[in-house]
Structure 1
Amino acid sequence: MDIFLVIGIITGLLAVVVGMIVKGANVAVLLNPAAAIIIIVGTSAAVMNSFPKNEFTNIPKVFKSLMRGKSKEDPVEIINQIVDMAQETRKNGLLSLEGKIHSIDNEFLKTGLEMVVDGVDPQHIAEVLEMEIESTEERHRGGALIFTTAGGAAPTLGVLGAVVGLIGALGNLNDTEKLGHMIAGAFVATLYGIFFGYVICHPFASRLKRKSLEEINVMRIITEGILDIQSGNNPKSIEKKLIGTLSPKQRQSIQSKGE
């Protein structure tokens, strides 16, 4: 689980609660089932109306990916793996990879190596892998767009919830004390909507986009590495080429390992 994400959510909640306490507002007013129903159900309806069923039902998987901490594919490990295979093929030929393919966990890397061992044309390999990358990008874009849509709908539904609450409050003008509580409760929906939209949904969309960039970067590293292995390029040259895609900290980890 991504603990940093959980900390961010908790920090956002604390900011609202502490802010209300400092301002002298009653925190108990946040316990408003009607406002929660309007925001949660209304936002869900907005997403349902924006996306087909298969994408909507895929939200739990997207959320699971969002909550996952460290990426399952480390680019440093992938590069080291590619360089080791390049050294192997320089000594024993491309067919020597056949026995190692089954032990590879990364399906994208496995697919590319299988085509290399089968003697598929390099251009065709590049086209197949690029299509897979584009498909993955589109799938990730759809997941992020769901949260972007929810983030845009929630604040507006918060205003709708406030209007609904004010309608109920205006129906009890004779009871002044009750009127004050109902007006305060009416604006809780707006608070819910803004919080849900700009502290939860939009940041979630941004995080998904970032995770997508990391995964796509690994896929492009694999593509370049596979084509270089097939071309018989020098392992050191392959390593120097691929580490150009890494951050300075990641590059140091490869260099220190090489030393």
Structure 2
Amino acid sequence: MLGIIGILVIFGMVFGGYLAAGGKMAIIIKSLPFEMMMIGGAAAGAFLLGNDGGVVKHTFKDIGKVFKGVKWKPHDYKELLCLLFELIKLARQSPVAIEEHVESPGESAIFSKYPKIQGDKVAIELICDTMRSMSMNYDDPHQVEEVLDKRIEALEEHRMHSSHALQSMADSLPALGIVAAVLGVIKTMASIDQPPEVLGKLIGGALVGTFLGVFLAYGFMGPFANKVKSVVEEDLHFYKLIREVLVANLHNHATNICIEVGRQNTPAHFRPSFVDLEEALKSVKQEAA
């Protein structure tokens, strides 16, 4: 919703101010299709030239994040803490019983209580791979934390490709606008024998190219890149929470302490209150009983 509002504000303020100052849209509308073809087409071509198919596909998909925002909401963080509580408690009570859940999370009665988390491949792999390693006596907290850190760093680098690609487009658009403007000037020079009113329109049309390149770069592509980056960074906190809780578990803290470590390491705007989490955990305990 905020993304749509932002776009409306950009158009309203830029073109509203232009019209309020006495500007005329006719010259812009007449030149826009050709300038957009040159600038937008060149930017799209450069984008395809500079990225592989996977990045192109993910970039188009990630543009939706500008409007949808983060994937993981405050409720999801509370559910994650409840899920980890159940798994850790079961693993400590019966190391054998936990195996069926980490080996087949898609069929697990515990994971099925949290369908959104169960449907996220990254979260499931982080949880199950780590708990499986613990059952194989790979339980050095520092080594496991290092492994999880590297996995999350690799995930972050991969998910930032879309943001980098969009930022590269934003950086190139002003220069492509100048290219279009220069071509417009060349066209104008070929008509130098025309009267001033004709030359004025030709020069105005050429300047539309410069305007369009800067407008698209700083009004759209730059903010899009920044928003995608922000959403990726926010969503990564969800996976970092998994790391915090599972590493705390390896330090042999009490189960409630492990969950509290995770709660306190949750970003403030996603963090459930202590009371809310306690109520949720009580419900989990009652269901298990």
TM-score under structure 1 length normalisation: 0.85
Question: For residue 76 of structure 1, what is the aligned residue in structure 2?
Answer: 78
Percent identity reads 20
**Counterpart residue type for residue 49 of structure 1:** L
Aligned equivalents of 2:275, 2:223: Cα separation in 1:
34
SS in 1 for 2:63: helix
Report the RMSD for the aligned CA atoms in angstroms.
2.5
- 5 Å-filtered alignment, 1:134-213, equals 134-173=153-192, 174-213=194-233
After TM superposition, the structure 1 stretch with the greater mean CA deviation from structure 2, 115-124 or 14-23, is: 115-124
Distance 1:76 1:155, change over 3 A: farther
User: Shift of residue 165 of structure 1?
Assistant: 1.3
Between the aligned partners of 2:17 and 2:87, the Cα distance in structure 1 is 57
> Structure 1 residue 114 and structure 2 residue 128: aligned?
yes
Q: Deviations over 1:72-105 (max 9, x none)?
A: 4633332232234334444x33444345433333
CA offsets 1:87-134 (integer angstroms, 9 cap, x no match): 4444x3344434543333332332244332461313465455333312
Q: Is the contact between residue 112 and residue 226 of structure 1 (CA under 8 Å) also seen in structure 2?
A: no
Aligned to 1:15: 13
Partner in structure 2 of residue 40 of structure 1: 40
CA distance in 2, matches of 1:79, 1:203: 33
Output the amino acid matched with 2:181: A
CA spacing shift, 1:223–1:94, aligned 2, 3 Å: farther
What are the Cα deviations for residues 30-84 of structure 1, in whole angstroms up to 9, with x where unaligned?
A: 3211110121111122323333344234432232344433414633332232234
Match of 2:248 among 220, 224, 228: 228
Residue ranges of structure 2 left out of the alignment (5+ in a row):
112-117, 280-289
Please state how far the C-alpha of 1:235 moved relative to its aligned partner: 2.5
Structure-1 separation of matches of 2:125 and 2:144:
9
TM-score by length of 2: 0.77
Distance of aligned partners of 1:113 and 1:167 in 2 relative to their CA distance in 1, 3 Å threshold: closer
Amino acid paired to 2:94: G
In the other structure, the counterpart of 2:270 is: 250
Instruction: Name the aligned partner's letter for residue 71 of structure 2.
Output: S
Query: Which amino acid is 1:137 matched to?
Result: E
Cα distance change, pair 248–136 in 1 and its aligned pair in 2 (3 A): closer
Contact 1:98–1:114 (CA<8 Å) still a contact in 2?
A: no
Are the counterparts in 2 of residues 122 and 227 from structure 1 also a CA contact under 8 Å? no
